[in-house]
């Protein structure tokens, strides 16, 4: 892979065009799974792999796909990879599979995956699409992991299930429940947007 | 043939579906024994833990399970639904029953081990629940489940106190509920009492007639 376009793509997907901050995609799962770092990591890893592999596949067969059934084929390919991930978890990580429950299946409906298939994989080569999917997933993972650090630390007093805060710490129940993800996502977006808009302001003055 | 030709669209969709679905069928087939073994192990380990037995790996758990627990069948020879088992614990006969009931958000499924007369609960495990993580979800924590070990009942019933943790010590047939999760605590009392009723019905034989066991045609 050539360095400069790949790097530019990485920077775009992680920062300037981050799926959560900028595209505001995949918010449902952001609210649901981020109260535990372990579950968040596994789920976002699943999203990352699905986005990369489905973008790769869709890009590889893009010449053959009739426009009329384009979306049906996208959903088919995405579901295929998600079910494969679900099968792998059930066979080798049954405990994780049980904890994630329906969230693995719900990766199928994560808008980021279809968004990348539509916006990028349709018009680019397979390897570049793979990279684009992977980095988009990474951008998603980084934001969710940031949320999970705050929520698990304050909600359970632990990180990756290891107790960090002293036993006397009164955990913040709100951090475990979905509403906390709403305001944490909002705060993160606010911070990211503020930082992102700074250079632009300088240029104007 | 042009890509927008309806015949091409149909053939293409058909072929691509066949390809991907076959891939899934293959993956499912390759892992199905492993998945079934995992599921069996999850069930067995819950029962063994409820009995207070320890094991190091899946193979040992399977052996221990075969040696201590046997499935109860009704008069027609079918497994009870939900499943129940006879077992021994410290040379004492016990009855083990799986039981489900409504929790706050979804159904809660537990395994209860008790003496056949249900005077004492010998162990309890929560095997499936969808309660609020960090609140009702704490019923899966060790301290909560271990309260039921050798817990005496009053006329075959227990209560889960909804006050602060530690408030149950005054009443002998009561365990601590979870602060902030009154509804889940109440549900746990109902489900546990339901399981105890069932264990009594199994012990006196009334749950073993084929008509009582509604699972089969």
Interface of B with A in 40-69 (CB under 8 A): 41-42
Within a domain: B76 = yes
Within a domain: A56 = yes
* B63 and B76 part of one domain: no
- On average, the pLDDT of chain B sits at 85
* B92 and B152 part of one domain: yes
Within a domain: B214 = no
* Sequence-distant (≥ 6) Cβ neighbours of residue A15 within 8 angstroms: A139, A196
Higher pLDDT, B12 or A200: B12
Give the pLDDT confidence score for residue A166 in this predicted structure: 81
How far B4 CA sits from the closest chain A CA (Å)?
6
How far B31 CA sits from the closest chain A CA (Å)?
6
Give the pLDDT confidence score for residue A130 in this predicted structure: 93
Test A66 with B8 for CB contact under 8 angstroms: yes
Within a domain: B208 = no
* B87 and B59 part of one domain: no
Higher pLDDT, A27 or A70: A70
Give the pLDDT confidence score for residue A205 in this predicted structure: 47
Q: Which of A37, A53, A80 to mutate to test the interface with B (most CBs of B within 10 A)?
A: A80
Give the pLDDT confidence score for residue A58 in this predicted structure: 93
* B58 and B8 part of one domain: yes
Query: Which residue in A66, A156, A173 is closest to B3 by CB distance?
Result: A66
Within a domain: B180 = yes
Cβ of residue B154 closer than 8 Å to a chain A Cβ: no
Complex ipTM: 0.75
Q: Which chain B positions have a beta carbon within 8 Å of A65's beta carbon?
A: 3, 12
Average pLDDT on A22-28 reads 78
Task: Kindly tell me the sign of the dihedral angle through the C-alpha atoms of A27, A31, A33, A36.
Answer: positive
Q: How far from each other are the two terminal CA atoms of chain B, in whole angstroms?
A: 54
Average pLDDT on B20-49 reads 91
Give the pLDDT confidence score for residue B162 in this predicted structure: 67
CB B42 within 8 A of CB B78: no
In tens, the pLDDT along B52-65 reads 888 888 888 888 88
Largest Cα span, chain B:
83
**Least confident range of A6-15, A84-93, A122-131:** A6-15
Cβ of residue B31 closer than 8 Å to a chain A Cβ: yes
Structural domain of B11? 1-69
Q: Which chain B positions have a beta carbon within 8 Å of A36's beta carbon?
A: 133
Residue in B closest to A152 by C-alpha = B134
* B8 and B46 part of one domain: yes
Q: How far from each other are the two terminal CA atoms of chain A, in whole angstroms?
A: 39
* B96 and B36 part of one domain: no
CB count within 10 Å of CB A64 equals: 12
Residue in B closest to A98 by C-alpha = B128
Within a domain: B181 = yes
Higher pLDDT, B22 or B4: B22
Within a domain: B210 = no
Radius of gyration of chain A (CA): 18
Which is it for strands B174-176 and B159-161: parallel, antiparallel or unpaired? parallel
* Sequence-distant (≥ 6) Cβ neighbours of residue A191 within 8 angstroms: none
In tens, the pLDDT along B99-130 reads 999 998 889 999 999 998 889 999 999 988 88
* B37 and B98 part of one domain: no
Assigned token pair, A93: 């990580």
Higher pLDDT, B33 or A34: B33
Question: Domain tally for chain A?
Answer: 1
Kindly indicate the confidence band of residue A200, based on its pLDDT and cuts at 50, 70 and 90.
low
* B186 and B119 part of one domain: yes
Whether the predicted pLDDT of A102 surpasses 80: no
Within a domain: B154 = yes
Assigned token pair, B96: 């083990």
Question: Which of B49, B69, B89 is the C-terminal boundary of a domain?
Answer: B69
CB A53 within 8 A of CB B20: no
Residue in B closest to A88 by C-alpha = B31
Test B134 with A72 for CB contact under 8 angstroms: no
Test A69 with B132 for CB contact under 8 angstroms: no
Higher pLDDT, A106 or A142: A142
Within a domain: A19 = yes
Interface of B with A in 118-147 (CB under 8 A): 130, 132-135
CB count within 10 Å of CB B138 equals: 18
Within a domain: A78 = yes
Within a domain: A205 = no
**Residue A101 three-state SS:** coil
Question: Which of B48, B69, B90 is the C-terminal boundary of a domain?
Answer: B69
Assigned token pair, A134: 């992977």
Give the pLDDT confidence score for residue A59 in this predicted structure: 94
Assigned token pair, B54: 């320890």
Kindly indicate the confidence band of residue B216, based on its pLDDT and cuts at 50, 70 and 90.
very low
Buried b (16+ CB within 10 A) or exposed e, A65-95: bbeeeeeebbbbbbbbbbbbbbbbbbbeebe
Question: Which of B69, B88, B111 is the C-terminal boundary of a domain?
Answer: B69
* B190 and B84 part of one domain: yes
Test B23 with A80 for CB contact under 8 angstroms: yes
Structural domain of A73? 3-200
Whether the predicted pLDDT of B16 surpasses 70: yes
Q: Which chain A positions have a beta carbon within 8 Å of B132's beta carbon?
A: 176-177
Whether the predicted pLDDT of B47 surpasses 80: yes
* B21 and B102 part of one domain: no
How many residues are listed for chain A in this entry?
205
Four-CA torsion A84, A85, A87, A89, nearest 10 degrees: 170
In tens, the pLDDT along B159-215 reads 888 655 555 566 677 888 888 788 899 999 999 999 999 999 988 888 787 555 544
Backbone phi and psi for residue A26, each to the nearest 5 degrees, phi listed first: 70, 30
Question: Domain tally for chain B?
Answer: 2
* B100 and B37 part of one domain: no
Average pLDDT on B70-82 reads 84
* B65 and B100 part of one domain: no
Q: Which chain B positions have a beta carbon within 8 Å of A173's beta carbon?
A: 134-135, 180
CB A124 within 8 A of CB A132: yes
Give the pLDDT confidence score for residue B217 in this predicted structure: 37
Test B12 with A66 for CB contact under 8 angstroms: yes
Within a domain: B209 = no
């Amino acid at each position: 892979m050539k360095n400069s376009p790949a790097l530019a793509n990485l920077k775009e997907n992680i920062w300037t065009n981050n799926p959560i901050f900028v595209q505001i995609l995949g918010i449902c799962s952001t609210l649901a799974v981020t109260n535990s770092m372990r579950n968040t990591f596994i789920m976002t890893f699943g999203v990352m792999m699905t986005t990369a592999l489905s973008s790769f596949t869709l890009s590889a067969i893009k010449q053959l796909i009739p426009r009329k059934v384009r979306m049906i084929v996208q959903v088919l390919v995405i579901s295929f990879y998600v079910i494969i991930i679900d099968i792998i978890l059930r066979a080798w990580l049954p405990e994780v599979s049980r904890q994630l429950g329906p969230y693995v299946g719900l990766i199928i409906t994560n808008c980021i995956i279809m968004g990348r298939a539509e916006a990028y994989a349709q018009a680019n080569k397979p390897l570049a699409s793979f990279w684009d999917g992977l980095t988009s997933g990474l951008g998603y993972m980084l934001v969710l992991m940031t949320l999970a650090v705050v929520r698990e630390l304050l909600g359970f007093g632990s990180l990756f299930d290891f107790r960090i805060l002293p036993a006397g710490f009164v955990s913040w129940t709100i951090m475990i429940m979905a509403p906390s993800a709403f305001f944490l996502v909002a705060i993160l977006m606010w911070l990211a947007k503020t930082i992102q808009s700074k250079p632009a302001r300088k240029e104007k003055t | 043939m042009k890509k927008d030709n309806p015949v091409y669209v149909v053939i293409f969709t058909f072929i691509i579906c066949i390809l991907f679905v076959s891939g899934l069928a293959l993956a499912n087939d390759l892992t199905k024994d492993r998945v079934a073994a995992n599921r069996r192990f999850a069930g067995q380990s819950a029962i063994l833990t409820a009995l207070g037995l320890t094991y190091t790996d899946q193979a040992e758990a399977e052996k221990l399970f075969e040696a201590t627990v046997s499935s109860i069948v009704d008069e027609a020879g079918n497994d009870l639904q939900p499943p129940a088992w006879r077992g021994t614990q410290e040379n004492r006969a016990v009855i083990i029953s799986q039981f489900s009931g409504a929790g706050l958000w979804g159904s809660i499924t537990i395994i209860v081990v008790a003496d056949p007369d249900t005077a004492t609960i010998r162990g309890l495990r929560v095997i499936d629940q969808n309660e609020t993580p960090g609140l009702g979800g704490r019923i899966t924590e060790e301290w909560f489940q271990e309260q039921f070990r050798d817990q005496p009942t009053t006329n075959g019933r227990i209560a889960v106190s909804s006050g602060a943790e530690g408030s149950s010590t005054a009443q002998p047939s009561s365990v601590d509920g979870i602060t902030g999760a009154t509804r889940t605590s109440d549900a746990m009392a109902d489900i546990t009492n339901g399981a105890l009723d069932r264990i009594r019905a199994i012990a006196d034989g009334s749950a073993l007639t084929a008509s009582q066991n509604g699972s089969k045609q």
